[in-house]
A = this chain, B = another copy of it.
Amino acid sequence: MRTEKPLTRSSQDYLEAILNLSEREQNVRITDLANHLQVTKPSATGMVKAMSRQGLLQHDKYGPIQLTEEGAKQAHLVRQRHRALKDFLVHLLGVPHKTAEKEACLMEHSISMDTSERLYLFLQENLTK
């Protein structure tokens, strides 16, 4: 079930979206996911299917979507990177929220967890102003 294949940018986006949605809804549905990510339902269906095969999530036909333990772990890491980046953009660079959200979404796939942690520490030291 487990795959050693590195996560694609899109997979990471899907993982993060499922994590965020699952904290607000009992069941994450394909339509929710598609709307959230601004893709069509067939696209979401296809990606969910692929990610299910990779052991990142559990999804029965027509049923709700649930992250596996591994999927949830990876989702949390993506979100961690996202938050550090967004905080930096908003609070240190003064980027408007919407722009920062969008750019953090793109950047989160581009940095290592090491860099993310360094950024987090940097923010700790510099957000005391």
Residues of B within 8 A of A95 (CB): 114-115, 118
Query: Are A115 and B92 in touch, CB under 8 angstroms?
Result: no
Query: Are B109 and A106 in touch, CB under 8 angstroms?
Result: yes
**If A89-B115, A115-B89 touch, does A103 touch B94 (CB 8 Å cutoff)?**
no
Query: Are B112 and A99 in touch, CB under 8 angstroms?
Result: yes
Query: Are B109 and A93 in touch, CB under 8 angstroms?
Result: no
Stoichiometry, copies per complex: 2
Q: How many residues of A contact B (CB 8 A)?
A: 18
What's the Cα separation between A115 and B95 when bound, in Å? 7
Query: Are A110 and B110 in touch, CB under 8 angstroms?
Result: yes
**Residue A39 interfacial (CB < 8 Å):** no
**Residue A119 interfacial (CB < 8 Å):** yes
Residues of B within 8 A of A115 (CB): 89, 93, 95, 99, 103
Residues of B within 8 A of A47 (CB): none
